[in-house]
Amino acid sequence: GWKDAISTTIINFNNEKMQITWAARELFPGMNVSFSYTFDEGKHKVWKTCPIYLLDQDYNSGCFFKTEGPTLAISIRNSNGSEELFSKRLKSDFYIKPNRPENVTFFWKEDTVTVSCNKPERAVKCLRLELQYKSKFDKDWQSRTSKCCSVGEQGFDPRKCYSFRVRLKRLVPYCNVVNYSSDWEAETFWMNGTLLDSCDDDIKSQSNTVIVLSCLLAVLLMILILLILLCKWQRLQKSVMPAIPDPKYIFTDLFNDHNGNFQEWIDKTDHAMVQTKLEYEEPECIIEAESQQEDKKNSDKQGPQEKIFSFSRADENNDPKVAQAACQMPTSNTITSFAGFQILMNDDMYVLL
């Protein structure tokens, strides 16, 4: 009875190659076994020895051979073949593992994706096409299965990058006693119907966009700060060093209508001016070095229109000629106020104050 309890793994690769394995070290410790098989039926069976052994630490643990029919009989014996340790008959068609889907195509229409592949030559009714996908925000794969060899799914967001993979599956228990599926076809990456190398490219492009936008915002912020500082600097400059008004803009009619002829302009605008004539009498210059008492008397007698000029250097240097020259003033001046300016008019000159 222990012969029937031996566990084996049987795989029929697309009904082309057979692989049968067993746990050699657990089942037959310290013993190297031999394997033989046959696809013939009836009394005249022709047993074939294993062409390719699979090894586990130098012990035979499996056999790889060609599929030659739907019915298979296997036998495991001791190393010289004198004693049979295990035997079994089976239907090889119930252990088929299909190949990967071939010529996989993706068709995008708005939010719907349709995936198709070439139909296999045999057992199409026993096959199902499985589609799995996930976006970069999903942790697990989403699965969709349909008849071979086309499957469609809706609800894809064009702003997301998706990973897709497909494979073929055998129906259980109608076609297979073991749930075998093909290996996954190479994973592909799509975004809004465009094939990408990977979804990392989309993440990098978004990160690059964020970096560019951040740099632009930083530049705009710096320009705004500079403008604010410039405005404050102009205000500070005006408060510390007020601008000197240009008479060209204040006395526009003087330069435009009279070509700068001050006498002609003053005659025509005399009615708009407020004239204040101040008569000055030539004051008597007294040098401080002569008499302090006389200086005090003169200061008491000085009227509102008199002014005594004192020159300390002339006093220190005892140079009466310099002091006398400094006291010479015009005998009559006229001061006119207009538009915030003062105009000093003498007999032969005008001075804008």
Of the candidates 98, 92, 96, the one whose C-alpha atom is nearest the C-alpha of residue 38 is 92
**Per-residue model confidence (pLDDT) at position 316:** 43
pLDDT band for position 85 (50/70/90)? confident
Q: Domain check: are 152 and 120 in the same one?
A: yes
**How many structural domains does the chain have?**
2
pLDDT at 53 over 90: yes
Q: Domain check: are 92 and 18 in the same one?
A: yes
Of the candidates 29, 178, 205, 2, the one whose C-alpha atom is nearest the C-alpha of residue 84 is 2
User: How much is the average pLDDT of 140-150?
Assistant: 90
pLDDT at 52 over 90: yes
Q: Which of 1-10, 26-35, 274-283 has the lowest mean pLDDT?
A: 274-283
User: How much is the average pLDDT of 264-276?
Assistant: 59
Tell me phi and psi for residue 81, to 5 degrees. Answer: 80, 10
Let me know if residue 222 belongs to a domain. no
Last residue of a domain, which of 67, 96, 125?
96
Each residue's pLDDT tens digit, 273-303:
544 444 444 455 444 444 455 555 555 544 4
Let me know if residue 41 belongs to a domain. yes
Let me know if residue 317 belongs to a domain. no
- Please tell me what DSSP assigns to residue 14: T
pLDDT at 253 over 90: no
> Pick the residue with more confidence: 81 or 316?
81
**Per-residue model confidence (pLDDT) at position 336:** 54
Q: Domain check: are 137 and 178 in the same one?
A: yes
pLDDT at 116 over 50: yes
Q: Domain check: are 72 and 120 in the same one?
A: no
Last residue of a domain, which of 64, 96, 128?
96
Of the candidates 95, 43, 99, the one whose C-alpha atom is nearest the C-alpha of residue 72 is 95
**Per-residue model confidence (pLDDT) at position 245:** 62
Let me know if residue 334 belongs to a domain. no
Q: Domain check: are 80 and 136 in the same one?
A: no
**Per-residue model confidence (pLDDT) at position 67:** 94
Q: Tell me if the pTM is above 0.75.
A: no
Q: What CATH number corresponds to the domain at position 113?
A: 2.60.40.10
Of the candidates 244, 272, 257, the one whose C-alpha atom is nearest the C-alpha of residue 353 is 244
pLDDT at 270 over 50: yes
Let me know if residue 203 belongs to a domain. no
User: How much is the average pLDDT of 152-162?
Assistant: 88
Average pLDDT, the chain: 76
Q: Domain check: are 115 and 92 in the same one?
A: no
| Location of structure tokens 């049979």 | 84
Q: Domain check: are 116 and 182 in the same one?
A: yes
Q: Domain check: are 117 and 170 in the same one?
A: yes
pLDDT at 64 over 90: yes
Each residue's pLDDT tens digit, 301-349:
444 444 433 444 444 444 444 444 444 444 445 555 555 555 555 555 5
Last residue of a domain, which of 171, 196, 221?
196
User: How much is the average pLDDT of 199-219?
Assistant: 72
Which residues does 325 contact at the CB level (< 8 Å), separation at least 6?
none
User: How much is the average pLDDT of 55-78?
Assistant: 91
**In sequence order, what DSSP letters do the residues of 107-134 get, joined into one string?**
EEETTEEEEE-PPPSS--TTEEEEEEEE
Domain that includes residue 15, residue range: 8-96
**Per-residue model confidence (pLDDT) at position 30:** 81
Let me know if residue 335 belongs to a domain. no
pLDDT at 63 over 60: yes
**Per-residue model confidence (pLDDT) at position 29:** 84
Burial group, residue 92, by CB count within 10 angstroms (0-12, 13-18, 19+): middle
User: How much is the average pLDDT of 196-211?
Assistant: 67
Alpha helices in the chain (DSSP H): 24-27, 199-240, 247-250, 252-256, 262-268, 292-301, 312-317, 320-326
Let me know if residue 280 belongs to a domain. no
Q: Domain check: are 192 and 161 in the same one?
A: yes
**Per-residue model confidence (pLDDT) at position 104:** 92
pLDDT band for position 68 (50/70/90)? very high
Highest mean pLDDT among 22-26, 27-31, 162-166: 162-166
Question: How far apart are the C-alpha atoms of 53 and 153, rounded to whole Å?
Answer: 44
Q: Domain check: are 35 and 85 in the same one?
A: yes
Report the percentage of the chain scoring pLDDT > 90.
Answer: 31
Q: Domain check: are 110 and 187 in the same one?
A: yes
Q: Domain check: are 47 and 117 in the same one?
A: no
Let me know if residue 271 belongs to a domain. no
**Per-residue model confidence (pLDDT) at position 194:** 86
